[in-house]
Structures are given as C-alpha cells and as structure tokens.
Amino acid sequence: MRSPRPERPQALAALAIALACGAVGGARAADAAPAVASAASALPPAQREERMAAVVRQLRADPLISGRHTEHELQWKKDEDKKSGKTREPESGSHWFRSFLDFLNDTSRFLLWGGALVLVAVLLVSGRHLIQLQGLRRRGALPTAVSHVRDLDVRPESLPADVGAAAWTLWQAGQVQPALSLLYRGALSRLIHRHQVPITASATEGECLDLARARLDAGALRYVTQVVRAWEAGIYGGRTLSAAMGENLCTGFATRLDATPAAEDAA
C-alpha cells in the first residue's frame, strides 16, 4: 500500500530546511523539522513544490555542499591583450618554451651588435697604439744627435747662418786654421742635423766619411771629403793651403750641404 503523496514532499522539505539550518546546530534543525513540515503541509501542492525546488537550488549552489569552488590566478597581460581587452588563457609548457626561444633570439641579436661595436672599438684603439708604437720605435732607432764631436761644437746654434761666407772672410784675413775649423764643424753639423748621419761624439774623420757614404749623394760626399782632407792637412799636417782651394771650399759649402736631401736626390 503506497504512502500518501503529501508526506513525501513534507519530508523532503523538512530535510532541506534542516540542512539549510545546519549552521545553527544539528539539534535545533532536527527539532524544527516537524514544525516546518507541518507548516509546509498547510500550503497548496503547487506552492509546496515551488518552495522545495527553490530550497534544492540553494543547496546545490552552496559551495560547501556541492564541492565546487572558483580559483583565481594572476597572470601578466601582453600589450595586445590590454588593447583588445581579451582575457589571457593559461599558458602551457610549450608556450613558455617558445617565449624563451624568442627571448634568446632578441638577446642574441643585441649581443651580436654589441660585440661588433666592441670589436670595432678595440681595432681602432689597437691601431692607434700600433701607430704610436711604430713612431716611438722609429724615433728610438735614430741615435741621439750629439752636440760635440771630439771637443768640436757642432750644434747648429753655435754656427753662423752662412758658414761658407764666414769661413771665406776668415780665410781672406789670413786666419786659415779658424776658417778650416769652421768649415769642418759646419760640415759635421750639417751631416748630423740635416742629413741624419749617425755620427758619435768620439768619431774620427775617417769614421765620419764612412758613415756619410750611406746618406749623401756623390757630389756632397766629394765635397765633404775635400773639407776633411783640407782639415787634416792644415791642422794636423801644418801645410799651407792656397787661396783658390779656400775659396772653392767656402763657396761650395751652401751648394753641397745646405740643400735639402730631396733637392740633392733630384739633382
């Protein structure tokens, strides 16, 4: 024999209301269930069904009873997501890997250009230092110009502007040895300072001629040889030299030794 239909809705309504009132306490909900069931039985069947359906929906929507809950996760938004207003989907492992490859691509491009700029800067600085070093080596290879050769002052400032004319004036005044000394000092000074002949302070006359052969043309070398031989004959040998020889030596000084090396090579 089936139970009357009104009792089932009453029992379901009492159970639903008791569960809804669980926060108040299990004993109080159980005590209130018969009263609620009796109150619900007084309602029309349609209204009771509607109220029961509403209670069931509330119970299903309760996260503590249904077991469903919502989790929120914070993620960075790209520029295009901000502009379009789209919600960014959770990224998978492959997406992270692609992002990492993109980062490496951009970084490698930056490192490549940066390395190229550093290489160019290093080459420029190295080239500049190399040029300076070569200049220092060239200057270091040249001997230091001496100021005296065997007690003879060969500094350019110690000589007259026109050595040949000054020597000829002394020669005409009968001062042959001072004239020869002036011609010899002037010739050594021109060899050292104008033609870069590496004459040392202790060089003899023969050594000066040997060193000059590599730097002078034939005409200039012949003239310097004449000055050296006249110097040796007049100073060391005490020989008397003719006025014609003196004039030839004095007038030939500017032509043979005052000209620049480039002009002599062209001649």
Same domain, 217 and 110: no
* Boundary (domain end) residue, out of 23, 41, 66: 66
Considering only residues 80 and 25, tell me which one the structure prediction assigns the higher pLDDT: 80
Q: How many CB atoms lie within 10 A of CB 259?
A: 18
Least confident of 44-53, 114-123, 138-147, 223-232: 138-147
| Model pLDDT, residue 164 | 94
Q: Is 23 part of any domain?
A: yes
Say yes or no to pLDDT of 141 above 80: no
Q: Is 107 part of any domain?
A: yes
| Model pLDDT, residue 91 | 54
Same domain, 240 and 153: yes
CA distance 177 to 167: 10
Mark residue 85 as left, alpha or beta (left: phi above 0; alpha: psi -120 to 50; beta: remaining): left
Per cent of the chain over pLDDT 70 is: 67
How does pLDDT run across 15-32, given as a tens digit for each residue?
555 555 444 444 444 454
Residue 139 binned pLDDT confidence (cut-offs 50, 70, 90): low
Q: Is 251 part of any domain?
A: yes
Domain count, the chain: 3
Residues of the domain holding 130: 100-141
Same domain, 251 and 222: yes
Q: Which residues pair with 148 in a beta bridge?
A: 153
Say yes or no to pLDDT of 234 above 70: yes
The CATH number of residue 183's host domain is: 1.20.120
If DSSP codes are grouped into helix, strand and coil, which group holds residue 152?
Answer: strand
With beta carbons less than 8 A apart as the criterion, state whether 183 and 250 touch.
yes
* Boundary (domain end) residue, out of 82, 112, 141: 141
Residue 57 binned pLDDT confidence (cut-offs 50, 70, 90): confident
| Model pLDDT, residue 205 | 92
How does pLDDT run across 176-204, given as a tens digit for each residue?
999 999 999 999 999 999 999 999 999 99
Judged on CB neighbours under 10 Å (0-12, 13-18, 19+), 189 is buried
Same domain, 168 and 249: yes
| Model pLDDT, residue 25 | 42
* Boundary (domain end) residue, out of 124, 141, 158: 141
Q: Is 199 part of any domain?
A: yes
Q: Is 83 part of any domain?
A: no
Same domain, 179 and 127: no
Say yes or no to pLDDT of 166 above 90: yes
Mean pLDDT of 251-255: 93
Say yes or no to pLDDT of 77 above 90: no
Q: Is 257 part of any domain?
A: yes
Q: Is 175 part of any domain?
A: yes
Same domain, 130 and 167: no
Mean pLDDT of 79-103: 64
Same domain, 169 and 203: yes
Same domain, 188 and 207: yes
| Model pLDDT, residue 175 | 95
Residue 250 binned pLDDT confidence (cut-offs 50, 70, 90): very high
Same domain, 122 and 163: no
Q: Is 117 part of any domain?
A: yes
Same domain, 154 and 174: yes
Same domain, 112 and 153: no
Same domain, 136 and 169: no
If DSSP codes are grouped into helix, strand and coil, which group holds residue 149?
Answer: strand
